[in-house]
């Protein structure tokens, strides 16, 4: 059995987990800072890094304890190294490097979005499949032909879906993080307000969410100027319906074009109840299998990093201690991206031999 200790600190969750063979979660500890950031209406990067420093030691200890695993029995230390808030990433990465060095274990640097996709491996998904990754920072349609093989079929041209949810929640006074609150409000509303969907007219599978976000803001401001009351639940339901349609139409188009029979959801927005229902409906209609992680593995967590890292481990794709954090990095990055831009050495045992 391969046991990987995984660490995730790319945004405002300090998380550690122990995952066996890339599929079995032995422990999954998450310290969410969301309450502390909510009074500012969003994540304050400096506050986030400081809080990561304060609690990472305890979170990792808890993960090992809950998994009934000693550090000596771990086969590798995995950590998110990109993309994300640089100060937050650096806390997890430095901690993981120190732990790997001190315990003489291999280090595995994992891409955060790859982690989100691999959360589905905890639920029995195997490639090939098409995955929609929708989070606070990303909205991508990705074809996964095989483990560690990613092709971006579509992406947002402006805001991420989660970002639009958070902004709309703020305008409606629903608080941070916005997604779950909009989801809740929408369940009590009727999608009676028509919002226009972007029409790129070029056969693309890309998304755009800034138009609908602005339309919601304008709707609220217009009502305020006229002294009219806004029905927040109806507005949330109308916004959510439009976003869900945008996300699902393109993803299923991509899946059909790719000829795959499995479709998956990943990222924080994947825990949206309406999106899950619509994917379920369309999968049935198109005779496809639908996979989505349990909600706790949709938002940021370290178990997903452990699931992804297993496929690096079996390929002996280990990182060296010069691995650096990166705020931006595409999921289909190459070793050259790391060497050129970060001057990191990406060690592969195969290359060494
Ligand atoms: O994956 P994640 O935890 O962090 C990032 O990598 O960004 O995603 C967080 C995003 C936030 O924008 C949050 O509002 C959104 O996911 N989110 C949701 C729901 N739960 C979280 N959006 C819509 N509906 C939800 N139920
Ligand atoms: Zn995330």
Q: Are residues 47 and 106 in the same domain?
A: yes
**Three-state secondary structure along 83-107?**
CCCHHHHHHHHHHHHHHHHHHCCCE
pLDDT digits over 256-265, tens only? 999 999 999 9
DSSP secondary structure letters along 243-300: HHHHHHHHHHHHHHHHT-SEEEEESGGGG-HHHHHHHHHHHHHTT-EEE---GGGTSS
| Nearest bound ligand to the CA of residue 42 | 1
* pLDDT, tens only, 53-83: 999 999 999 999 999 999 999 999 999 999 9
Interval 279-295 mean pLDDT: 98
Same domain (yes/no): 310, 283: no
Only one residue has tokens 């994300």, namely 84
Cα of 315 to ligand 2 centre, how many Å?
24
Interval between CA 152 and ligand 1 midpoint (Å): 20
- The domain boundary, picked from 244, 272, 292, lies at 292
Number of domains comprising the chain: 2
Examine the fold and report which residue of 242, 267, 292 is the final residue of a domain before the chain moves on: 292
Give the distance (Å) from ligand 1 centre to CA of residue 84. Answer: 14
Q: Give the tens place of pLDDT for each residue, 78-114.
A: 999 999 999 999 999 999 999 999 999 999 999 999 9
Atom of ligand 1 nearest to the CA of 163: 12
**Cβ atoms within 10 Å of 39's Cβ, excluding its own:** 9
**Do 235 and 282 fall into the same domain?**
yes
Residues 6+ apart with CB under 8 A from 148: 311, 312, 315, 317
Ligand 1 site-directed mutation target among 132, 135, 156, most atoms within 8 Å of CB: 135
Distance (Å, whole) CA 282 – CA 210: 25
The answer to whether 118 touches 247, Cβ cutoff 8 Å, is no
| 210 and 63 co-located in one domain | no
**Residue 135 confidence class, pLDDT cut points 50, 70, 90:** very high
- My answer on whether 26 and 113 are in the same domain is yes
* pLDDT at site 342: 45
Which of 292, 309, 333 is at the close of a domain?
A: 292
Residue 37, in any domain of the structure: yes
Whether 149 and 220 map to the same domain: the answer is yes
Q: Are residues 37 and 74 in the same domain?
A: yes
**Cα dihedral 15, 150, 119, 162 in deg (nearest 10):** 70
pLDDT at 176 over 90: no
Element (DSSP H or E) covering residue 163 = helix 161-171
Same domain membership, residue 276 and residue 148: yes
Is 204 domain-assigned?
yes
pLDDT at 350 over 70: no
Return the best residue to mutate from 162, 277, 298 for the ligand 1 pocket (most ligand atoms within 8 A of CB): 162
The proportion of the chain whose per-residue pLDDT surpasses 70, expressed as a percent, equals: 96
Cβ(4)–Cβ(75) under 8 Å?
Answer: yes
Ligand 1 centroid to 231 CA: how many Å?
23
User: Which two tokens mark 336?
Assistant: 């050259």
Residues 104 and 81 in one domain: yes
Shared domain for 149 and 258, answered yes or no, is: yes
From CA 157, how far away is CA 259, in angstroms rounded? 25
Q: What is the pLDDT of the chain when averaged over all its residues? A: 94
The verdict on 147 and 251 lying in the same domain is yes
- Is residue 144 domain-shared with residue 88, that is, in the same domain? no
What CA–CA distance (Å, rounded) separates 248 from 269?
12
For residue 40, the model assigns a pLDDT of: 86
- Which bound ligand lies closest to the C-alpha atom of 187? 1
More confident residue, 348 or 315: 315
What is the per-residue pLDDT for 341?
A: 52
122 domain residue, yes or no:
no
CATH of residue 228's domain is: 3.30.420.40
| Nearest protein CA to atom 18 of ligand 1, as residue | 179
Tally Cβ neighbours within 10 Å of residue 98. Answer: 12
The yes-or-no verdict on residue 345 having pLDDT over 60 is no
Q: Is the CB of residue 74 less than 8 Å from the CB of residue 3? A: yes
Query: Among candidates 289, 183, 166, which has minimal Cα distance to 240?
Result: 183
Query: Quick one: pLDDT at residue 340?
Result: 53
Residue 156 belongs to a domain: yes
Q: Which residue has the higher pLDDT, 302 or 198?
A: 302
Instruction: Pick the ligand that lies closest to the CA of residue 8.
Output: 2
Domain of residue 307, residue span: 3-117+299-352
Q: State the distance from the centre of ligand 2 to the C-alpha of 297, rounded, in angstroms.
A: 10
**β-strands 262-266, 129-134 pairing:** parallel
Which residues, judged by CB distance below 6 Å to any ligand atom, belong to the binding site of ligand 1?
A: 11, 135-137, 162, 165-166, 177-180, 183, 267-269, 271-272, 299-300
Residue 146 lies in a domain: yes
pLDDT at residue 312 in the model: 97
Predicted confidence (pLDDT) at residue 343 exceeds the cutoff of 70: no
Share of the chain above pLDDT 90, in %: 88
């Amino acid at each position: 059995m391969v046991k990987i200790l995984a660490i995730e600190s790319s945004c405002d969750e300090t998380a550690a987990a122990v995952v066996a063979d890339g599929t079995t979660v032995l422990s999954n500890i998450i310290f969410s800072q969301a309450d502390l950031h909510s009074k500012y209406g969003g994540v304050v990067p400096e506050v986030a890094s400081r809080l990561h420093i304060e609690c990472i030691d305890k979170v990792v200890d808890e993960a090992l304890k809950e998994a009934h695993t000693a550090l000596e029995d771990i086969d590798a230390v995995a950590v998110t190294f990109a993309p994300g808030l640089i100060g937050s990433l650096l806390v997890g990465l430095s901690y993981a490097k120190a732990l790997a060095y001190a315990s003489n274990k291999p280090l595995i640097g994992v891409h955060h979005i790859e982690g989100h996709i691999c959360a589905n491996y905890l639920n029995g998904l195997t490639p090939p499949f098409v995955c929609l990754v929708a989070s606070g920072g990303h909205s991508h349609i990705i074809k996964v032909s095989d483990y560690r093989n990613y092709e971006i079929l579509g992406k947002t041209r402006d805001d991420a879906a989660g970002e639009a949810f958070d902004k709309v929640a703020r305008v409606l006074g629903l608080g941070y993080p916005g997604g779950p609150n909009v989801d809740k409000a929408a369940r009590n509303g009727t999608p009676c307000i028509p919002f226009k969907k972007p029409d790129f007219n070029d056969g693309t599978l890309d998304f755009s969410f800034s138009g609908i976000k602005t339309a919601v803001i304008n709707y609220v401001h217009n009502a305020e100027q006229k002294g009219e009351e806004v029905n927040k639940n109806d507005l949330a339901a109308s916004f959510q319906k439009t976003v869900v349609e945008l996300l699902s139409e393109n993803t299923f188009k991509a899946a059909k074009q790719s000829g795959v029979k499995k479709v998956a959801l990943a990222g924080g927005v994947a825990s949206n109840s309406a999106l899950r229902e619509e994917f379920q409906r369309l999968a049935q209609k198109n005779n496809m299998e639908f996979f989505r992680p349990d909600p706790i593995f949709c938002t940021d967590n370290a178990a997903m990093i452990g699931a992804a890292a297993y496929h690096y481990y079996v390929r002996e794709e280990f990182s060296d201690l010069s691995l650096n954090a990166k705020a931006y990095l595409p999921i289909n990055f190459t070793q050259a991206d790391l060497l050129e831009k970060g001057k990191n050495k990406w060690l592969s045992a195969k290359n060494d031999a």
